[in-house]
Amino acid sequence: MDLKERYFNKIRSERLRLTKSRKAMIEILENKHLTFKEIQKALASRGFYNVSTIYNNLEFLMEHKMVVEIYIDNVKYYDLAMDNPMHSVDSHIHILNKETNEITEVNSPEIFDYLVNHEAFQDLDLEYIRIIVSAHKKK
């Protein structure tokens, strides 16, 4: 089953409405980190123009932990969070390439294990850890 089918199934299995616009939103976010404007543009090219529907669908998908917001350099991006092999909703490492503005992901659970077990957090129940790395390619 591909990634977007798993999202569709989750929505169906919770007896929520899998509308055409929700489907389109999941499809355009697959393997991408998009700003609201980019989402709007991608959806417009598929015939979905209603901005409040886009807002509502994003809210809906975030509420059900399928999409997360991430802030990178003061820009808000939306990212599929469920069953993403690179991160769960609670553990993100994103790298922003400053030259290309491209965002990539790193899968290093040991970094999170180290942090979670750090003495600074021993009295805390951690809600999430999100790590953003901003970088240039070495010259």
Nearer to Zn ion, 90 or 105 (CB): 105
Nearer to Zn ion, 12 or 76 (CB): 76
Q: Which residue is nearest to Zn ion (CB)?
A: 79
Provide the minimum distance between the beta carbon of 139 and Zn ion in the complex, in angstroms, as a whole number: 27
Q: Give, rounded to a whole angstrom, the gap between the first and last alpha carbons of the chain.
A: 41
Provide the minimum distance between the beta carbon of 77 and Zn ion in the complex, in angstroms, as a whole number: 8
Provide the minimum distance between the beta carbon of 74 and Zn ion in the complex, in angstroms, as a whole number: 17
- Is there a contact between 95 and 106 (Cβ–Cβ < 8 Å)? yes
**Which ranges constitute the DSSP H helices of 14-139?**
20-29, 36-44, 51-63, 109-116
Nearer to Zn ion, 38 or 105 (CB): 105
Contact footprint for Zn ion (CB under 5 A): 79, 105
- Is there a contact between 57 and 22 (Cβ–Cβ < 8 Å)? yes
Provide the minimum distance between the beta carbon of 79 and Zn ion in the complex, in angstroms, as a whole number: 4
- Is there a contact between 68 and 92 (Cβ–Cβ < 8 Å)? yes
Nearer to Zn ion, 47 or 85 (CB): 85
> DSSP secondary-structure letter at 105?
E
C-alpha gyration radius of the chain: 16
